[in-house]
Chains A and B, each alone.
Chain A
Amino acid sequence: MIRSVSSSVSWPRLALIAAVLAFAIVLPLGLDPRGYAIRILCLALLFGAMAQAWNIVGGLANQMSLGHAAFFGIGAYTSTLLLVHVGLSPWLGLIAGSLLGGVAAFAISLPTMRLKGHYFALATLAFGEVMRVIGNSWGGLTGGPVGISVPFSQPSLAMFQFKETRPYYWIMLAALVLVTLVFVAIQRSRLGYRLRAIKENVDAAEVIGVDTTRTKIIAAVISGALTAALGTFYAQFQYFFDPDTVFGVASVSVRIAMIAIVGGIGTWIGPILGALFIIPMEELANQVFSAEAAGLSQLVFGALLVVVILVEPRGFVAMGSRLKRRFAGRASS
Chain B
Amino acid sequence: MALIQAILDGLMIGGVYAVISIGLTLVFGVMGIVNFAQAEFLMLGMFVAYYAWAWLGLDPLLAAPLAFVVVFILGAAMQRLLIRRVLKAPDVAQIFLTVGLLIVLENAALLMFGSGFRSVSTPYQTASLKIGQLFISVPYLLAFVMSVASGLALWLFMRASWFGKAMRATAQDPMAARLMGIDADRMHMLAFGLGVGLTAFGGAVILPYLTASPTVGGQFVVLMFTVVVLGGLGSVAGAVAGGLAVGIIQSVSALAFPIQLQNLVLFVVFIGVLAFRPEGLLGGSK
CB distance from B82 to the nearest CB of A (A): 7
Contact A64 B222 (CB under 8 A): no
Known contacts A130-B268, A295-B110, A310-B85; A302 and B102 CB within 8 A of each other? yes
A302 and B267 alpha carbons, distance in the complex (Å): 26
Interface centre among B104, B108, B115, B214 (most CB of A within 10 A): B104
Is A212 located at the chain interface by the 8 A CB criterion?
A: no
Contact A313 B102 (CB under 8 A): no
Contact A299 B100 (CB under 8 A): no
Contact A118 B107 (CB under 8 A): no
Interface stretch among A3-11, A96-104, A133-141? A133-141
Instruction: List B contacts of A111 (CB < 8 A).
Output: 271-272, 274-276
Contact B271 A129 (CB under 8 A): no
A126 and B264 alpha carbons, distance in the complex (Å): 10
Q: How many A-B residue pairs have CB under 8 A?
A: 145
A92 and B121 alpha carbons, distance in the complex (Å): 55
Interface range for A: 35 or more
CB distance from B8 to the nearest CB of A (A): 26
Interface of A, helix, strand, loop or mixed by DSSP: helix
Instruction: List B contacts of A304 (CB < 8 A).
Output: 100
Is A213 located at the chain interface by the 8 A CB criterion?
A: no
Instruction: List B contacts of A238 (CB < 8 A).
Output: none
Interface stretch among B12-20, B63-71, B90-98? B90-98
Residue on B nearest A112 in the bound complex, by CB: B275
Which residues in window 293-329 of A have CB below 8 A to B?
293-296, 298-299, 301-306, 309-310, 313
Contact of B92 among A126, A137, A301, A313 (CB under 8 A): A313
Residue on A nearest B37 in the bound complex, by CB: A302
Instruction: List A contacts of B103 (CB < 8 A).
Output: 250, 254, 298-299, 301-302, 305
Is B133 located at the chain interface by the 8 A CB criterion?
A: no
Contact A306 B94 (CB under 8 A): no
Instruction: List A contacts of B107 (CB < 8 A).
Output: 295-296, 298-299, 302
A112 and B206 alpha carbons, distance in the complex (Å): 34
Instruction: List B contacts of A257 (CB < 8 A).
Output: 96
Known contacts A305-B100, A306-B100, A310-B97; A299 and B91 CB within 8 A of each other? no
Known contacts A261-B96, A306-B82, A309-B97; A129 and B274 CB within 8 A of each other? no
What does the 1/0 interface line of A97-136 toward B look like (CB < 8 Å)? Answer: 0000000000010011011111101110111011001101
CB distance from A44 to the nearest CB of B (A): 19
What does the 1/0 interface line of A220-237 toward B look like (CB < 8 Å)? Answer: 000000000000000000
CB distance from A277 to the nearest CB of B (A): 16
Contact A126 B261 (CB under 8 A): no
Known contacts A118-B94, A302-B102, A309-B100; A126 and B270 CB within 8 A of each other? yes
Contact B225 A126 (CB under 8 A): yes
Instruction: List B contacts of A305 (CB < 8 A).
Output: 96-97, 99-100, 103
Contact B111 A293 (CB under 8 A): yes
A64 and B99 alpha carbons, distance in the complex (Å): 12
Residue on A nearest B258 in the bound complex, by CB: A137
A239 and B270 alpha carbons, distance in the complex (Å): 34
Is A62 located at the chain interface by the 8 A CB criterion?
A: yes
Contact B108 A310 (CB under 8 A): no
CB distance from B79 to the nearest CB of A (A): 14
CB distance from A244 to the nearest CB of B (A): 10
Contact of B278 among A119, A121, A126, A310 (CB under 8 A): A119
Residue on A nearest B111 in the bound complex, by CB: A295
Instruction: List B contacts of A130 (CB < 8 A).
Output: 264, 267-268, 271
Known contacts A122-B225, A257-B96; A303 and B271 CB within 8 A of each other? no
Is A173 located at the chain interface by the 8 A CB criterion?
A: no
Contact A123 B100 (CB under 8 A): no
Instruction: List B contacts of A179 (CB < 8 A).
Output: none
Is B101 located at the chain interface by the 8 A CB criterion?
A: yes
Instruction: List A contacts of B271 (CB < 8 A).
Output: 108, 111-112, 123, 126-127, 130
Residue on B nearest A260 in the bound complex, by CB: B92
Is B260 located at the chain interface by the 8 A CB criterion?
A: yes
Known contacts A125-B222, A299-B111; A119 and B104 CB within 8 A of each other? no
15 sample A-B contacts, Cβ–Cβ < 8 Å, listed by A number: A64-B96, A117-B95, A118-B34, A126-B222, A130-B264, A130-B267, A136-B260, A249-B221, A258-B96, A294-B111, A295-B110, A295-B111, A299-B110, A305-B97, A310-B86
Nearest first, the 9 closest Cβ-Cβ pairs linking A and B are A302-B103, A111-B275, A295-B110, A305-B100, A137-B260, A302-B104, A295-B107, A299-B107, A306-B100
User: Could you tell me which B residues sit within 8 Å of A by CB distance?
Assistant: 34, 36, 82, 85-86, 89-97, 99-104, 106-108, 110-111, 115, 214, 218, 221-222, 225-226, 229, 258, 260-261, 263-264, 267-268, 270-272, 274-276, 278
